[in-house]
Structure 1
């Protein structure tokens, strides 16, 4: 492997390491470098012997995405298994001598010489969240998570077992102008590969980057289609409508290089150093865009300031991920009609395929490495032979995209106690063939059947569904009405109850006598946080479900609108309201938990941050907390009737024996309402 950087002043590491799956006999990490790195993994348990493992081609797979950009996919099988519930220092040495303290000191907490990890014996303490938009004007929930970790960095039993990112880790469809400029500077700096663009108004990626509408006017460059949805269109030949339905497409990412650059710049401060001092584009001085540019620049500067803390959290805690729509584009696969339109146009198909390719390399692989071996072989063939303009072979690129669009192994399971089952609610949808414009079910019959088989025999399970399984009823009703009048895309009408078949199948899984009695459902997507205690009616046994939603990590719902929706929901769907019987949730009894910092009656919590749940020995929530990114005291979601005591939540980790017993008494004594809230 070459040890000499193609550009001497580029840092050898651009992003990472990110700690992905941890098992007793296996360790998975992700790293991006400007060169192919000779790496040695060091593992040093506090109470055991140190291991040094030279990472060869079997344990570190390299994927070259540019002249000076290499993704390092590290999957190490360990001869000596990792001890559980103890601190394990680790390091990645470059050329057997330069460790993380040398090339990424921002990843070390005060007093550390190396980062560390903990392999927990139980999945009883989980951090979770979704929706991290760099230019949203709030602080970063991942940085808040790092501050929590710093308080207990030396306490193995107080460390979270998992950081679960539930979707929208990046926003491909909603990008700030200064972020797009940094992406383009990074593309030039690293020589990220370009591509030809069939069906576009520009020939290739270089023409796109140089186009007058590249910044703030990209919606004009995105693909469109002829619509014949109404009588006027049929008589006058149809009207041109956009394929992509996002309202924020001004800087929608298009090329694979742009999306790879977005990942690097949202995961690490090192990538930003590579573009320091690069000149701003002309739009920064344009009269129409200058004010917006300045406003976004200030927010992006604040985002960059917290990136070292966010990266440090990802280097210390096992981090798993799943996509949602904004990781690709808004309304991705919302309906059969959307799919037919988007995949029937070569340009929009390429845009979606590029996002999936980048997701695989930067997120999906680390969740389930063994599922992607053959796909990575195809990637190697694609990246091996760019043309004389450093553009990818369009035939190979389209073939890879065809493969990814048909791929059905994005979901995964952790066989832990309790089991963690992460659902793919985007690519295996239950399409509405009768009315293709209506929302698809979030999972089809086959994938729901596989979920049921996966749940058989388990006592408890944590299910990760990007969209909440049980959401705010008023919002679901509004989405249903909008769907009826043909506006499903306008209101993002995606919820589990929007498709009768998927909703019924999911409820029947919960009712099955051999599936778990306790479920915790972790979700994001909606840009506000809430918790429901749920019982499924009309069942021989009563499964207990806790719908726990934390959203967003760096995003929020419009405050006044959410206030009104929350209030109207309480008025219209109170336990005694007959409106409950006109919804698809009449087979459920839901009881909201109340935020302890709420105003009168408030059920929904609005504010960027990161959620945390502690589980007892039976897989039931002991405590549920939303850690606010703005450093306000953490918000606890309390069962109705529980006193608002002001005790601080327990240290992250297994609850004490007395705490677990108290949680069990509370749970056993709670009799959920027999009426629907």
Structure 2
């Protein structure tokens, strides 16, 4: 049969003179990409679970250029379509020496599928709106799209996918009738979401990186050790976690790796050369779900990743899969991955950007509630601990504040980096041999279905601004009754009252404070972080009823007093 292009191409990494494109086809095929102005690459598809995928690395690209490209399957042009109403997709490269070239990152999280496919009417999709803007103004294309979780909703599928699930359940495939379980069911989510015509064009012409949050697997994924124990008792959970992580690895994680990282990744080398990689990926999905513990001493698979753009370093952290859930030793990242993060946080750059699907700095009242809850859930009194666990799950109290040691460690890292000097963790050496502080530190997040900008205050003058930039949702919404509660959670008066809970439980007051500079905004939105010289500009744009973007927040920040 003739191979058809099912999903993609999705332009992922652009590294120097190379670019990586991902796609799914209906049949095995030879894939080739040719770029006007020079550059080409080819690959054979690999197969798993009856599906066919390819990762094509294009080399020989001209620096500082933007040229259209064509993708062929078995020598037939498959992209762009001959009758496409959209501009030709391009691959844009940066200058060979891009140290003085600005960097633009678009970010956001939480996107349900197209309006026709959702179970409820939602405001216009912010990615659709972004796509239309870039079609009209190619010069506005960002360097990178950073998607921070909930790219698909395995536990809240559309009507179309639920009809498919009911049919499978009647045919003997076990699992809930309204949630996906098997790999095949996960593929329907990506097919539905990534074939949105405007988003498909956007993905084909703007590089993207992605990290999961909970809804790629299930709401509140890895909230606590007892949560995991309860889920393990579900007859369908083993297939759910295996299919979910295997599909995430193929659809999202593969493109996060550079060509060198792909060449060094043993799983990719096995999968891409196997006749059928189903068993490899099924076993992988089950194996990498095991958290760090005394019984499991295997090094966890690393979902976190890092890359440099000009003088900007982006580090994206896994906030979900590899959490340490042992009471008394809870951590957002296991020790080996935290050490990797510290190593990447050192180096020669001007701006540090950390991608975290869960906000580091939450509304203060919620932060205090989560800090109290962590202490309560770890009480030596069984009834108190059970009550704390019940509250933790009921109110989704599982952000950085609910992993207090990790919250403090991240703040301490940022403080030391921002202060510079000989005690800094190891930044670029400046004049006179002193360590130079970065121009800015920004944490990009999503998850909480409202957008805001906040600045950390470490209690003393520090040249480097440390900012929390939260943008969520891209295409979802907060129930109206919840919005007043989320607004007042930013209130100083409410925060003072909420602080009494962790104080009474013996939880130390945070070493830093933070102030909201913009927001909260509750509509669909995308964020843009632009880094130009020493200046950083954070911009949040919402969608109008007509599906156009408009500014809801804009904050400029730079080193104070010009000090570095």
Provide the rounded CA distance (Å) in 2 between the counterparts of 1:41 and 1:552.
33
C-alpha change, 1:99 and 1:15, in structure 2 (3 Å) is: closer
Provide the rounded CA distance (Å) in 1 between the counterparts of 2:554 and 2:319.
29
Moved more, 403-412 or 360-369: 403-412
Is 1:143–1:629's contact at 8 Å kept on the other side of the alignment? no
- Who is 2:444 aligned against? 522
Q: 1:412 aligns with which of 298, 301, 305?
A: 305
- Who is 2:365 aligned against? 474
Task: Tell me the C-alpha RMSD between the 2 structures.
Answer: 3.2
- Who is 1:116 aligned against? 90
Per-residue deviation, 1:51: 3.7
- Who is 2:516 aligned against? 592
Per-residue deviation, 1:431: 2.5
Structure 2 counterparts to residues 162-311 of structure 1, below 5 A? 162-181=144-163, 208-210=169-171, 251-268=178-195, 307-311=196-200
Provide the rounded CA distance (Å) in 1 between the counterparts of 2:549 and 2:185.
38
Provide the rounded CA distance (Å) in 2 between the counterparts of 1:341 and 1:579.
32
Provide the rounded CA distance (Å) in 2 between the counterparts of 1:494 and 1:383.
41
Per-residue deviation, 1:426: 1.4
User: Normalised by the size of structure 1, how large is the TM-score?
Assistant: 0.68
Provide the rounded CA distance (Å) in 2 between the counterparts of 1:82 and 1:409.
32
- Who is 1:352 aligned against? 241
Per-residue deviation, 1:449: 2.6
- Who is 2:430 aligned against? none
Per-residue deviation, 1:481: 5.2
Per-residue deviation, 1:349: 2.1
Equivalent residue of 1:32, what SS?
A: strand
Provide the rounded CA distance (Å) in 2 between the counterparts of 1:64 and 1:399.
12
- Who is 2:413 aligned against? 509
Provide the rounded CA distance (Å) in 2 between the counterparts of 1:377 and 1:51.
24
Equivalent residue of 1:74, what SS?
A: strand
Q: 1:625 aligns with which of 540, 548, 557?
A: 540
Equivalent residue of 1:501, what SS?
A: helix
Q: How many residue pairs were aligned?
A: 503
Is 1:28–1:366's contact at 8 Å kept on the other side of the alignment? yes
C-alpha change, 1:24 and 1:382, in structure 2 (3 Å) is: closer
C-alpha change, 1:123 and 1:557, in structure 2 (3 Å) is: farther
- Who is 1:83 aligned against? 63
Q: 2:15 aligns with which of 13, 16, 23?
A: 23
* Residue 374 (1) aligns with residue 271 (2): no
> What whole-Å deviation, never above 9, does each CA across 1:201-260 have from its counterpart, x for those lacking one?
xxxxx5x3436xx8xxxxxx65xxxxxxxxxxxxxxxxxxxxxxxxxx751101111011
* Residue 557 (1) aligns with residue 478 (2): yes
Structure 2 counterparts to residues 383-398 of structure 1, below 5 A? 384=276
- Who is 1:65 aligned against? 49
Provide the rounded CA distance (Å) in 2 between the counterparts of 1:578 and 1:184.
47
Unaligned runs of 5+ in 2: 291-299, 377-386, 417-423, 428-436
Structure 2 counterparts to residues 277-676 of structure 1, below 5 A? 307-343=196-232, 347-368=236-257, 370-371=261-262, 373-376=265-268, 379=271, 384=276, 399-405=283-289, 407-416=300-309, 417-434=311-328, 440-457=330-347, 458-480=349-371, 484=376, 485=387, 486=389, 487-512=391-416, 513-514=424-425, 516-517=437-438, 518-537=440-459, 541=462, 543-573=464-494, 582=503, 586-594=510-518, 603-618=519-534, 620-628=535-543, 630=545, 631=547, 634-638=550-554, 668=560
Instruction: Name whichever structure is richer in strand by fraction.
Output: 2
- Who is 1:303 aligned against? none
Provide the rounded CA distance (Å) in 2 between the counterparts of 1:149 and 1:376.
33
Per-residue deviation, 1:367: 0.5
Per-residue deviation, 1:75: 2.5
Equivalent residue of 1:40, what SS?
A: strand
C-alpha change, 1:117 and 1:379, in structure 2 (3 Å) is: closer
Unaligned runs of 5+ in 1: 6-10, 186-205, 215-220, 223-248, 269-306, 386-391, 595-602, 640-662, 672-677
